[in-house]
A and B are shown apart, each in its own frame.
Chain A
């Protein structure tokens, strides 16, 4: 992983010996729509390291695509600076930037065959014919399209077109490759296959990948680091494991995977942890990053698979709450329970079918839910 740190609000700080491949520094993008100024990107600063697989993840309209288009040069930021390898390229047009893009709908040239599509960039850069021939041939081998050089895009399947689009960008050996939801149009099987392929190709060519997606599993599978975006801002920037295990904000917790949100009033502080009051028999302990005092309301999140469901009150240093099962769903590899707490909150619990698939409780049963305190996180 890279040593480069980055986050919301502050410019990425690069290690002195390493210039980030891509930097966004306080970038804002405003549009005028029906006479009103709309901010698509509200101030994003991040630094992407050389050779990193970096994802911009978020729902539609969160500003991820606009951010990527500013890196590519299709949009000019209203404020802020875009740097590629330390060089300010804020006002440099796309054809003068050493980054290439794979478009959502591939945007292949419909009047050219596969070979001419892939050779397009090299020919514009006036690369010699011999080199064009060897580099295009080599690239078609990497994406497994040898023998299909004469095909037109419309004669090819979605997966093949996807690989042409990838080859067309990568053959130029850009300093960074930008991918705008490149797998969105493919069916699930092919998408999963291409995720692994993309990761393999990235390892082989060693080029920085910036990947825009709204699909959290895709981002978690492939990325070295993920910037989760919402409403024009970066909510959290971290590795996939940390994003999933320790969501920094309520939005991230809700957007990535299934999360349970609970809130309670601080009854006492116990070192760096707060003891929360929920139900009378309940005991919830949660680590707190900042400071909290008695009487504060704290929101916390805990993942469904971290929770153990039992019919008897568990022993030990666990967080535990009591509730009533409102739904049990058998899902093959696991059972999913919905448990209603006395306070009105509903908690989802996943129970692995590791041994047999019998359920611990049925609808209407009173159960205890417990988890390790360190598996729950207070939200900012």
Chain B
């Protein structure tokens, strides 16, 4: 009896989460998959017809937006690494007793709603706003200079909005490095730069890897930044899908685009994991 209970315990523990995922993830995914293969319109209803045409239409009409989304996501991710790594490094190694305070300060803006934060960026970056206005008034910038509705605004917004998801995993990886390992490198004739290059950087890679996953995926499928900070030339695939669902009400195309994006991201992630996620990357770094 006791053995039976011990055998069932893991299943009992996974049951609530499993049910949750089944209802709110698996079922909608299946519904959406079926929807992407239906044909019809909102007025007359949709019928399942193995209609692959929605995928073809989606890729033909919106490949620009798909590519743009991946490029914006990649650019935002790179900016986040450049900004986030030094922040994580500083907190992990120079934060001293106040590490948790700095981490809290990093997260503080994120207690405010995602959309509100993006709208406040809109205020900051607006053509005659608090940032550009004074610079234009003293003649440092030409009068028609603008940031809003450019790729810079959208990529900047993406980089800002997902920054903690880059900083935190890198911080965790750096924090786990035994300071004596760094002393050992120093003792073995490595200066500060060599120690960073040969020891700190390779040991931080698992954190960078996780950070890239956690920021690239939401950034490239985001639509809030493009709709609040962007213009007609910065439309991302998220905006297209939103538009197809809520305005055009072409559910099959919207679903097909969602699945296309998901497939692309999954393939990308697996390729990335294959290339970087294994121990080989560490071997290379050790040379």
Contact = CB atoms under 8 A, between A and B. Distances in A.
A205 interface: no
B45 to A, nearest CB: 58
B188 A100 contact: yes
A103 B180 contact: yes
A211 B194 CA distance: 28
B144 interface: no
Which one of B180, B184, B194 has the highest number of Cβ atoms from chain A below 10 Å of its Cβ?
B184
A218 B68 CA distance: 67
B202 interface: yes
A124 B188 contact: yes
Interface in B163-182: 178, 180-181
A251 interface: no
A125 B198 CA distance: 14
B187 A101 contact: yes
Interface string B262-287: 00000000000000000000110111
Contacts of A93: 186, 191
Given A109-B199, A112-B286, A101 B194 contact: no
Interface string A87-121: 00000011110001101110111111100100011
A259 interface: no
B237 to A, nearest CB: 37
Nearest to A121: B188
B191 A95 contact: yes
A124 B190 contact: yes
Given A109-B199, A111-B202, A116-B286, A74 B183 contact: yes
B180 A107 contact: yes
B189 A109 contact: no
B203 A120 contact: no
Interface in A99-149: 100-101, 103-105, 107-113, 116, 120-121, 124-125
Interface residues on A, range: 20 to 34
Contacts of A100: 187-188
Nearest to B181: A107
Contact of A107 (B184, B190, B202, B287): B184
B189 A124 contact: yes
Given A103-B180, A124-B194, A109 B185 contact: yes
Contacts of A103: 180, 183-184
Contact of B188 (A73, A74, A110, A172): A172
A101 B184 contact: yes
A105 B180 CA distance: 8
A113 B286 contact: yes
A111 B184 contact: no
A225 interface: no
A72 interface: yes
A104 B178 CA distance: 12
* Most chain A beta-carbon contacts within 10 A, residue among B183, B187, B202, B286: B187
Given A74-B183, A113-B286, A116-B286, A107 B188 contact: no
B191 to A, nearest CB: 5
Contact of B198 (A95, A107, A120): A120
B79 to A, nearest CB: 27
A303 interface: no
Nearest to A125: B189
A344 B52 CA distance: 100
Contacts of B287: 116
A93 B190 CA distance: 10
Nearest to A180: B180
Nearest to B203: A111
Contact of B189 (A107, A116, A121): A121
Contacts of A108: 181, 184
A163 interface: no
Interface string A271-300: 000000000000000000000000000000
Contacts of A125: 189
A78 B24 CA distance: 64
A109 B286 contact: yes
A246 interface: no
A202 B286 CA distance: 29
A29 interface: no
Contacts of B181: 107-110
Contacts of B202: 111
A94 B203 contact: no
A103 B184 CA distance: 8
Nearest to B180: A107
A72 B185 CA distance: 12
Nearest to A101: B187
A142 B247 CA distance: 76
A95 B186 contact: yes
A175 interface: no
A100 B189 CA distance: 9
A73 B188 CA distance: 12
Interface of A: 72-74, 93-96, 100-101, 103-105, 107-113, 116, 120-121, 124-125, 168-169, 172
The 5 A-B residue pairs with the shortest CB-CB distance, nearest first, are: A121-B188, A124-B189, A107-B180, A107-B184, A111-B282
10 contacts: A93-B191, A95-B187, A95-B189, A103-B183, A107-B180, A111-B199, A112-B286, A116-B287, A125-B189, A168-B188
Given A103-B184, A113-B286, 15 more contacts: A93-B191, A95-B188, A95-B191, A96-B189, A101-B187, A107-B178, A107-B180, A107-B181, A111-B286, A112-B282, A116-B286, A121-B189, A124-B194, A169-B187, A172-B188
